[in-house]
């Protein structure tokens, strides 16, 4: 029997890149500098340059990247931040950790991205920021968001955790807001071998502020200028990410090749396939399809050794931890409907063409 196919895996990539990865790790151990050393500094510069932004500030994870960004723009308790419920929990938990209240708007049912036409009706006198989530690998319509933000004097913080290398009208995800944030969690397009995150900005003031916030509010050891946090990017992860950043375009090209295979081979099925906005490059962090009989499909494919994933089965506004935010069932109809029907097919660069064909064959048999 063929081996199982998972929605994601890193072991083949590690085998292929092991020599470079271990050389990077060894260089850190031999350097005598394990925290905020030369690798963090270099990776911050290299990733910022890749995104077309002046400053990169590494931190410990993508969740804290959002919280620190909100602190940096002056978000305070009682402030409201507009975002979506169709996202990973960290987007919302970070807003709450910063002391603010998340306010949800619905999604576009075809792309699953924030429905920008819903933003203005969600703005109140307490609204201070918008966090668009560049979900599944493509960007939200940032022209509209930035126009709304400008007219209402709001901050914009892009959540780019799922969109490394994605573009919108020629600009990279992360280059279109006051501060942007990302995660280097292992599954990401650019993934570490542990946790990691970064904040990007074009303002020297934000750069200095974020560097203080991630390091106890200090600019020098043992002296805090303001209240801060312990939220540093690890030197080992930075060294690994530097090696992987050199291959990011290869990763993206392969993801897009796999997506095109799925598009072609599944075109005549009853699945709803991903829709590209046409505004830029989709990097296919996830290949998300939709079907009204999703749960049965996933169960039957599991029996065939193919393990799929749902991103995300429960909208955040319906989770026990966040029901107090209001809205409740039926408040975000497109978000809630999608949560009942969407699921992700295997997608990672070392997935083989034969495995893609096996996934497709199994899906067609089940459908």
Mean pLDDT, residues 50-64 = 98
**Residue 327 in this model has a pLDDT that exceeds 90:** no
Residue 2 has pLDDT above 90, yes or no: no
Distance CA(338)–CA(328), nearest Å, equals: 16
Same domain? 305 vs 170: no
Tokens of 76: 């305070």
**What is the chain's alpha carbon radius of gyration, rounded to the nearest angstrom?**
21
Q: Which domain holds residue 316?
A: 248-366
For residues 275 and 298, membership in a common domain is answered with yes
Provide the token pair at 104: 């949800």
CA distances from 37 to 33, 51, 72, 214, 324 (A): 6, 22, 23, 15, 42
Round the average pLDDT of the chain to a whole number and report it.
97
Domain membership flag for residue 230? yes
Domain boundary among 212, 245, 278: 245
- Helix axes 62-72 and 204-213, enclosed angle (nearest 10): 120
Residue 3 lies in a domain: no
The total domain count for the chain is 2
Q: Are 276 and 351 within one domain?
A: yes
Provide the b/e sequence for 55-93 (b: ≥16 CB within 10 Å): bbbbbbbbbbbbbbbbbbbebeeebbbbbbbbbbebbbb
Residues 231 and 334 in one domain: no
Q: Is there a single domain that holds both residue 53 and residue 159?
A: yes
Cα–Cα separations (whole angstroms), residue 317 to 200, 292, 326: 28, 22, 7
Within a domain: 1: no
What is the CATH classification number for the domain harbouring 293?
3.90.1150.10
Q: Domain for residue 127, yes or no?
A: yes
Of 245, 263, 278, which residue constitutes the final position of a domain?
A: 245
Burial class (CB in 10 A: 0-12, 13-18, 19+), 220: exposed
Check whether residue 239 and residue 276 sit in a common domain. no
Q: What is the dihedral of CA 189, 193, 196, 199, to 10 degrees?
A: -40
User: Where residue 44 sits, what CATH number does that domain have?
Assistant: 3.40.640.10
Structure tokens at 299: 């169960």
pLDDT over 70 (residue 13): yes
> Looking at the structure, do residues 138 and 183 belong to the same domain, yes or no?
yes
| Digit-coded pLDDT (tens) for 278-314 | 999 999 999 999 999 999 999 999 999 999 999 999 9
Of 138, 242, 153, nearest to 190 (Cα)? 242
Question: Do 36 and 173 fall within a single domain?
Answer: yes
Pairing of strands 287-290, 223-224: unpaired
Find tokens 């599954």 and name the residue. 187
Do 153 and 257 lie in one domain? The reply is: no
Do 61 and 83 have their domain in common?
A: yes
Tokens of residue 247, six digits: 């291959």
Is 99 inside a domain boundary? yes
Quote the pLDDT of residue 326.
85
Per-residue model confidence as pLDDT tens digits over 155-193: 999 999 999 999 999 999 999 999 999 999 999 999 999
Please say if the pLDDT value at position 237 is more than 60: yes
- In the chain, which ranges are continuous DSSP H helix? 11-31, 38-51, 62-72, 89-97, 119-122, 142-152, 204-213, 235-245, 248-265, 294-303, 333-341, 353-366
- Residue 6 inside a domain? The answer is no
Predicted local confidence at residue 1, as pLDDT? 40
Pairing of strands 167-168, 197-201: unpaired
Q: Domain check: are 75 and 222 in the same one?
A: yes
The answer to whether position 4 is within a domain reads: no
Beta bridge partners of 179: 157, 201
Q: Which of 245, 263, 287 is the last residue of a domain?
A: 245
- Asked whether residue 234 is domain-assigned, the answer is yes
Q: How far apart are CA 253 and CA 350, in angstroms?
A: 12
The pLDDT confidence band at residue 27, using thresholds 50, 70 and 90, is very high
- 208 with 341, same domain? no
């Amino acid at each position: 029997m063929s081996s199982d196919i998972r929605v994601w895996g890193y072991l083949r990539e590690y085998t292929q890149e092991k020599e470079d990865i271990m050389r990077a790790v060894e260089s850190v151990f031999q350097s005598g500098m394990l925290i905020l050393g030369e690798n963090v500094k270099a990776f911050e510069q290299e990733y910022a340059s890749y995104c077309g932004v002046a400053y990169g500030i590494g931190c410990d994870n993508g969740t804290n990247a959002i919280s620190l960004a909100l602190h940096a723009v002056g978000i305070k308790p009682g402030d409201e931040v507009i975002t979506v419920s169709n996202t990973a929990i960290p987007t919302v938990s970070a807003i709450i950790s910063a002391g603010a209240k998340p306010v949800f708007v619905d999604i576009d049912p075809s792309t699953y991205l924030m429905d920008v036409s819903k933003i203005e009706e969600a703005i109140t006198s307490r609204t201070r920021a918008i966090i668009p989530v560049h979900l599944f690998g493509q960007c939200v319509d940032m022209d509209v968001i930035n126009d709304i933000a400008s007219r209402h004097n709001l901050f914009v913080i892009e959540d780019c955790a799922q969109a490394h290398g994605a573009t919108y009208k020629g600009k990279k995800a992360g280059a279109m807001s006051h501060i942007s944030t990302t995660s280097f969690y292992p599954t990401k397009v650019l993934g570490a071998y542990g946790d990691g995150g970064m904040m990007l900005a074009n303002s020297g003031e934000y750069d200095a502020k974020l560097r203080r916030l991630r390091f106890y509010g200090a600019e020098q050891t043992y002296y805090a200028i303001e209240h801060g946090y312990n939220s540093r990017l690890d030197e080992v992860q930075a060294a690994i990410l530097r090696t992987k950043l050199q291959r990011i375009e290869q990763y993206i090209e392969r993801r897009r090749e796999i997506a095109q295979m799925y598009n072609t081979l599944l075109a005549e099925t009853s699945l709803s396939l991903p829709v590209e906005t046409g505004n830029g490059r989709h990097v296919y962090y996830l290949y998300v399809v939709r079907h009204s009989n999703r749960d049965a499909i996933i169960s039957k494919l599991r029996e065939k050794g193919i393990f799929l994933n749902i991103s995300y089965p429960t909208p955040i506004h319906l989770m026990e931890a966040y029901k107090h935010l209001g809205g409740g069932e039926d408040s975000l109809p497109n978000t809630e409907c999608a949560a009942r029907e969407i699921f992700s097919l295997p997608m990672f660069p070392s997935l083989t063409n034969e495995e893609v064909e096996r996934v497709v064959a199994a899906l067609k048999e089940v459908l």
